[in-house]
């Protein structure tokens, strides 16, 4: 089984170390100082009280690696379109692409059924390039729950979690997804195979769609957002809008909105990924976490006034900081200016 982890940052590096320790044939695609450090010193994972070091095959040139059985994409979702051409040498007729990214993936409406079957989502896949050039038929869904961070080039720190639920878009339990799940298990992680992977995607997105932009606007941590009456109420309003959209598309939530907010509050003084990116001067993931929900609301005819307002604000805030170059929030911001 040949596996390429495309984007060997915090999550990709964590997977790379653990897969290699389990004996898998793993290659890593990375860049810059992180790649240079891995080449020189290996890739180090700090987990609990342990230091785990491996010396992976790593490169910034995928043509060196050849066709793979699995390509696990661990990039920020907004970066994927920009590397489609570079990924092509990794893709054979039987290669599967595992979307270990935040938010709604490009293949969402593949084998979905209903009137939106086969639809591409412009906010996350401009021009449908991922759909056409990567192919939805190659996709396996993956929801990423662990928290990890790059402590220094070539050094990954595991913060918490080891759960990576997997699922075919069709809901089938195929030999490919079962073999991938078995690899995660052999590497000491959990990767249950789900027959309704979209339910799990929405369960995680349910919090990201509100907590991320609110944290970017207020610089508040999860415990504060979920305890302050105003931001808690705003979070709930956005979540209920998202829930209405998801349920109209057949999604089932296994917890209610209050329990989901309480779960986030109990995480404590945690900074969301969007707030961390903002503080570090990195591009933020607005479109795959927020704009796409707005787009799906338009598709289903469900109004999203709370989400629209917060999206317009966070898009303008991050655009002015040079950390967002998408289209979200432009129309809303213009209409507010006219008013």
List average pLDDT for each run of 10 residues in the chain, which is 339 residues long.
95 97 96 96 95 96 97 92 96 97 96 95 94 97 94 94 97 97 98 98 97 97 96 98 98 96 91 92 94 97 97 95 78 35
Return the sign of the alpha-carbon dihedral for residues 249, 147, 309, 281. negative
The pLDDT score that the predictor gives to residue 89 is 97
Which residue has tokens 């595991």?
A: 158
Give the span between the Cα atoms of 15 and 29, in whole angstroms: 13
The strand order across the sheet containing 57-59 reads: 57-59, 25-29, 2-6, 70-73, 96-99, 139-142, 166-167
Burial class (CB in 10 A: 0-12, 13-18, 19+), 115: exposed
Q: Which whole-number Å values give the CA distances from 215 to 74, 87, 175, 286, in the listed order?
A: 23, 33, 41, 12
Helices and strands counted in the chain (H then E): 13, 11
- For the chain, how far is it from start to end, CA to CA, in angstroms? 59
The pLDDT score that the predictor gives to residue 331 is 41
The pLDDT score that the predictor gives to residue 76 is 87
Task: Supply 110's token pair.
Answer: 């593949």
Burial class (CB in 10 A: 0-12, 13-18, 19+), 160: exposed
Task: Please list the active-site residues.
Answer: 204
């Amino acid at each position: 089984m040949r596996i390429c982890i495309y984007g060997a940052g915090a999550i990709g590096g964590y997977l790379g170390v653990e897969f290699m320790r389990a004996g898998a044939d793993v290659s890593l695609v990375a860049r810059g100082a992180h790649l240079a450090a891995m080449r020189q010193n290996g890739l180090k994972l700090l987990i609990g009280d342990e230091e785990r070091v491996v010396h992976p095959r790593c490169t910034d040139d995928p043509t060196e690696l050849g066709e793979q059985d699995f390509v696990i994409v661990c990039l920020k979702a907004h970066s994927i379109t920009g590397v489609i051409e570079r990924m092509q040498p990794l893709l054979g007729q039987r290669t599967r692409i595992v979307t270990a990214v935040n938010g709604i993936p490009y293949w969402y409406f593949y084998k979905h059924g209903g009137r939106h079957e086969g639809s591409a989502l412009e906010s996350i896949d401009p021009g449908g390039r991922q759909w056409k050039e990567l192919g939805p038929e190659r996709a396996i869904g993956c929801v990423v729950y662990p928290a990890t961070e790059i402590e220094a080039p070539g050094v990954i720190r595991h913060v918490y979690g080891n759960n990576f639920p997997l699922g075919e878009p069709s809901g089938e339990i195929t030999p490919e997804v079962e073999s991938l799940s078995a690899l995660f298990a052999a590497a000491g992680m959990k990767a249950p195979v789900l027959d309704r992977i979209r339910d799990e995607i929405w369960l995680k997105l349910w919090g990201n769609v509100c907590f991320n932009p609110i944290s970017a606007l207020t610089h508040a941590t999860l415990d504060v957002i979920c305890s302050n009456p105003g931001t808690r109420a705003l979070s709930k309003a956005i979540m209920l809008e998202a829930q209405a959209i998801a349920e109209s598309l057949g999604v089932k939530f296994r917890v209610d909105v209050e329990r989901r907010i309480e779960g986030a509050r109990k995480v404590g003084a945690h900074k969301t990924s969007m707030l961390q990116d903002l503080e570090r001067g990195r591009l933020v993931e607005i479109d795959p976490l927020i704009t796409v929900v707005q787009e799906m609301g338009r598709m289903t005819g469900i109004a999203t006034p709370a989400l629209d307002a917060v999206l317009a604000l966070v898009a303008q805030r991050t655009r002015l900081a040079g950390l967002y170059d998408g289209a979200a929030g432009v129309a809303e911001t213009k209409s507010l200016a006219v008013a």
